[in-house]
Structure 1
Amino acid sequence: MSASAPNATLSLAAVVAESARMYPDKVAVVDGDTRLTYRALWDRARRVAAALREQGVRPGDRVALMMGNVADFPVVYFGILAAGAVVVPVHLLLTATEVAYVLRDSEAKLIVCHGPTTEVAILAADEAGVAVAAGGALSEGSMATVGYEHRSPEDPAVIFYTSGTTGTPKGAILTHLNMVLNATVSALDANDVRATDIVLGCLPLFHAFGQTASMNAAFRMGATIVLLTRFSGDAAIEMMAREGVDVFHGVPAMYIALLDAARSSERTLPSLRTCISGGASLPVRVLDEFAAAFSTTVFEGYGLSETAPVACANQAAFGARPGTVGRPVWGVDVEIADPERELTVELLPHGEVGEIVIRGHNIFAGYLNRPDATAAAVVDGWFRTGDLGTKDADGVVTIVDRKKDVIIRGGFNVYPREVEEVLASHPGVSQVAVIGLPDRTRGEEVCAVIVPAAGAAGIDPTTLIEWSKSRLAKHKYPRRVHVVDTLPMGPSHKVLKRELREIFSRA
């Protein structure tokens, strides 16, 4: 007998359908003055499903979704799923030509847009030869479907497109099993979400972190998500206070922005029950200061689009270990492998630095129409992350760095995260990114790009280099320091180190 019975069914749409059954009159989504109960959210989603069917969308078809953090996002997202179709979230900062590539590569039948994304979506749809629809209009005029299309657990639910930093973007296929289980373990283990929680939804919903850990985990438990279309520290604090937010999910840049805003805020800061950080390493100094300012505990986690995304996290049951990303979530194995072996996975003993590899219910079904890329990424049943880390005897994982970001200076490996952690402890530093730049003598040289702390006196690069000499080994401390007003960020607020390398390689 096969592991999955032929008639087994599962749909990510059940996340909202079940909460609508259990908590029909509870507010599910807050978007400015708009408040949608679970009953209203599910009704509008089923109207979208009916409208999609009228436009010829059938189970298994792909529908692109290009929207910001507005109420129509979950409405259309779960409408697509209710119709049995596959959601293809589209990055909001892409050009029309880049969006057209995603539409063609995913073979999308339709792209659904909203407000500010409409112009780019229309241009992209025209270039790719697909239909385009406005999100709000889809939920009007059609009679809601009775229920939702059931799918096999192994059927695609969402296709996330990678950033394309190592080539053309690839579509990572996440199944209904991947997405439902990850929302569940995120809610129960990694995030400790409760039905009484009010979650601030400021992470981009088109991104795996915001989509699963914030939106889907909140809906899985019947919590309320408050959407913030454009993040800033001041706007987030104001929203937290107004809506009684008690759970925050963010990336390090957001925590830094909130701390900066808190220092100049005259209002009483909200006390947050719990906070989740992911996407990049959170400096321990920032974690401690944030926890004190907002009377909370910050739990760091780790994952990738290909892992649905949550793979491991500091969890309330075990307590937080600052500087680590905690233990694997339920049903997932996270180990350390020899990074030099590409054709097989050889696990390393506890404490050794190697490539982080993952297996479990969260591993994607492969890259769309790219069997060679899939075979290179999933070896012996393990997904190779490209990240370097360690795992101790207690099962706690620590991220060292991205393989591609490791600096090799004079034959010695320098891990940027270690250098960043030290520089971030300087009182005059708000944000820091460490990169390797070409050097004739050493191969690569360590370069730190610094954003000064608000209100701090100007940072002198020479002084900072001298300060770092006593805190870092001779091959690790930066020989070059550049002071900038801001660091280039992607839409998920992760530092774009590739851009920094391009800029300062020419300097």
Structure 2
Amino acid sequence: MTGVLDPVCRHAAETPGNIALRGDADQWTYLQLRDASTRYAGALAAAGLSPGDRVLLAAPSVPEFVVAYLGIQAAGCVVVPVNTMVTRAEVEYVLGDAGCSLAIAWQALGPGVAEAAAALKVPFRPLSPGASVTGATPADVVDRDRDETAAIPYTSGTTGRPKGAQLTVGNLLSAGEIGAACSRASSADRIGTGLPLFHVFGQASVLMASLTAGASMSLLARFDPASMLEMLRRDRLTIMAGVPTMWNAMLHAAGDADPAAFTQLRVAVSGGASLPGEVARAFEARFGCTILEGYGLTETTAFGTFNDDDRGGKTGYTGRAVPGLQVQVRDSDGNECPPGTVGEVHIKGPTVMSGYWNRPADTAAAISPDGWFRTGDLGETDTDGDLRIVDRVKDLIIRGGYNVYPGEVEEVLYEHPDIVEAAVIGVPDDHYGEEVAALIAARPGSELGAAEVSSWARERLSAYKIPRIVRFVDALPKGPTGKILKRSIDRGALTRDTAPGDVAVRPR
């Protein structure tokens, strides 16, 4: 038998009483999780679902998400996970594009998914606490090939309509094995996260890794730094997973907490965006643990590179290729770049998707005939072979002929004690082609001004990299994982006149 439920079935047989999942007020053993998942699969089969059918799933990070997700897998169907904040129009697009046969949504989410399903005449099923299914009997787990599609998460759509990445059974099982190996997780570990499970980071590299290792996984339905700290203490977490904005928020919420209060926490896994060095150093000092950064994409089932636990985290770098994967930085001619030279990151291995759903041209453009995936990310390696992500190819700012990598500028801004969040983008400029702009969320009560930001940057960066436009906001727009969404920033507003003090003087 091969299937995404395999790790759960294995632990249910060997250690049935071990805790698999912890929610806000309940917990599930591996035996309970297996039985609930196969009952859910039985209910799907009874409703007329067949292997290969696509099933949309919208739910927060609660144990019931996992039951439904694994139940869909056990039935041989394909999970199409969507953001819980998805609009009706967005649901209709995904339902139609993926050709879904059923839509499932957490009962507390509101009517959007149900209404979208009704509009397209797609059956709808609410997901309730306990993931109970009336009158369902456990189904036999459908045996599947490793190259069969198991999940179709949709990409963010920064370059047009979202595309569905076809992740196979083998992709997800490999992600679980790689994730467990990278974090050295075992059945003794207590893993926790505030990441959304509908996103590939939480779904593949955290959930699948935890289930593969036979560990317990504590889930926070919605990230809140105080709640995450409480979960860390209550469940005595040994491993946490999150994105840089989460670590920064926890730092501010922790106040003067003594690192001795978190002695059981041995590693924090960071991904989703580049981790500012200042945040990493402060987090490690406050929580007394190693923070290890990794890099991957939806199309690579969340994996690419990871920092080695033995060597510790190397500030600014995402480590080397994880076991089983190859990672190369290539120039525009396709040649591998020497250390210290920026190029596009390419990935090959068992976690690379099979392709984009019903988009053969996009698949051919992204994946070469020999299996290398073009990430669209700019990076460089050092002499140790560690990868540093510089920026997205499309985020590169070219100011007066000079390349400005926003991540480098943001790293400097995050070193300022009054800056909580920062996003650097390029905006059109008649003289330079593009100008460097920075949106900043300052520490509450701070009197930080644009002139001080410019002075801070000027002392640490070359002249052409200094943000000439500085705008202060209460908070930056973020996606479901907490990753800052630069595409949501109104670049036009940054070029218009603003109140005195909002924009720094722009010397020519």
TM bracket (short chain): over 0.9
Q: Given residue 300 of structure 1, which amino acid in structure 2 is its aligned partner?
A: E
- 1:194 shift after superposition: 1.9
Instruction: Tell me how far apart the structure 2 counterparts of residues 449 and 94 of structure 1 sit (CA, whole Å).
Output: 26
Give the aligned partner of residue 237 of structure 2: 245
Instruction: Tell me how far apart the structure 2 counterparts of residues 172 and 21 of structure 1 sit (CA, whole Å).
Output: 33
> Structure 1 residues 315-324 or 226-235, which shifts more?
315-324
Q: Given residue 305 of structure 1, which amino acid in structure 2 is its aligned partner?
A: T
- 1:506 shift after superposition: 4.7
- 1:318 shift after superposition: 3.8
Q: Work out whether residues 151 and 166 of structure 2, in 8 Å CA contact, stay in contact via their aligned partners in 1.
A: yes
Instruction: Tell me how far apart the structure 1 counterparts of residues 190 and 458 of structure 2 sit (CA, whole Å).
Output: 45
Number of aligned residue pairs: give it: 493
Instruction: Tell me how far apart the structure 2 counterparts of residues 475 and 75 of structure 1 sit (CA, whole Å).
Output: 52
Q: Please state if 1:404 is matched with 2:397.
A: no
Give the aligned partner of residue 386 of structure 1: 376
- 1:265 shift after superposition: 5.9
Counterpart mapping for 1:51-450 below 5 A:
51-136=43-128, 139-145=132-138, 147-189=140-182, 191-263=183-255, 269-271=261-263, 272-338=265-331, 340-341=332-333, 345-380=334-369, 381-450=371-440
Describe the superposition over 1:129-187 as per-residue Cα deviations: whole angstroms up to 9, x where unpaired: 21111223863334443531010110001111011111011100000111101111111
CA 1:187–1:144 in structure 2 vs 1: closer, same or farther (change >3 Å)?
farther
Give the aligned partner of residue 464 of structure 2: 475
- 1:454 shift after superposition: 4.3
Q: Work out whether residues 439 and 472 of structure 2, in 8 Å CA contact, stay in contact via their aligned partners in 1.
A: yes
- 1:486 shift after superposition: 0.6
Q: Work out whether residues 308 and 363 of structure 1, in 8 Å CA contact, stay in contact via their aligned partners in 2.
A: yes
Counterpart secondary structure, 1:464: helix
Give the aligned partner of residue 5 of structure 1: none
Give the aligned partner of residue 500 of structure 2: none
Counterpart secondary structure, 1:149: coil
CA 1:138–1:258 in structure 2 vs 1: closer, same or farther (change >3 Å)?
closer
Q: Work out whether residues 67 and 131 of structure 2, in 8 Å CA contact, stay in contact via their aligned partners in 1.
A: no
Give the aligned partner of residue 17 of structure 1: 9
Instruction: Tell me how far apart the structure 2 counterparts of residues 317 and 223 of structure 1 sit (CA, whole Å).
Output: 21
Give the aligned partner of residue 6 of structure 1: none
- 1:284 shift after superposition: 0.5
Instruction: Tell me how far apart the structure 2 counterparts of residues 318 and 185 of structure 1 sit (CA, whole Å).
Output: 18
Q: Please state if 1:39 is matched with 2:37.
A: no
* TM-score of the pair, normalised by structure 1: 0.94
Instruction: Tell me how far apart the structure 2 counterparts of residues 20 and 504 of structure 1 sit (CA, whole Å).
Output: 56
Q: Work out whether residues 50 and 142 of structure 1, in 8 Å CA contact, stay in contact via their aligned partners in 2.
A: no
Q: Given residue 159 of structure 1, which amino acid in structure 2 is its aligned partner?
A: I
Give the aligned partner of residue 504 of structure 2: none
- 1:394 shift after superposition: 2.3
Could you list the runs of 5+ residues in structure 1 that have no partner in the other structure? 1-8
Could you list the runs of 5+ residues in structure 2 that have no partner in the other structure? 498-508
Q: Work out whether residues 244 and 271 of structure 2, in 8 Å CA contact, stay in contact via their aligned partners in 1.
A: yes
Q: Work out whether residues 101 and 128 of structure 1, in 8 Å CA contact, stay in contact via their aligned partners in 2.
A: no
CA 1:264–1:482 in structure 2 vs 1: closer, same or farther (change >3 Å)?
farther
- 1:333 shift after superposition: 0.4
CA 1:83–1:260 in structure 2 vs 1: closer, same or farther (change >3 Å)?
same
Q: Please state if 1:485 is matched with 2:502.
A: no
Q: Work out whether residues 441 and 472 of structure 2, in 8 Å CA contact, stay in contact via their aligned partners in 1.
A: yes
Give the aligned partner of residue 3 of structure 1: none
Counterpart secondary structure, 1:351: coil
Counterpart secondary structure, 1:468: helix
- 1:17 shift after superposition: 1.3
CA 1:138–1:200 in structure 2 vs 1: closer, same or farther (change >3 Å)?
closer
Instruction: Tell me how far apart the structure 2 counterparts of residues 488 and 103 of structure 1 sit (CA, whole Å).
Output: 26
Instruction: Tell me how far apart the structure 2 counterparts of residues 266 and 292 of structure 1 sit (CA, whole Å).
Output: 10
Counterpart secondary structure, 1:141: coil
> Which of 445, 464, 467 is 2:453 aligned to?
464
> Structure 1 residues 410-419 or 142-151, which shifts more?
142-151
- 1:20 shift after superposition: 1.3
Describe the superposition over 1:190-233 as per-residue Cα deviations: whole angstroms up to 9, x where unpaired: x2212111111210000000011221111111111111112111
- 1:10 shift after superposition: 2.4
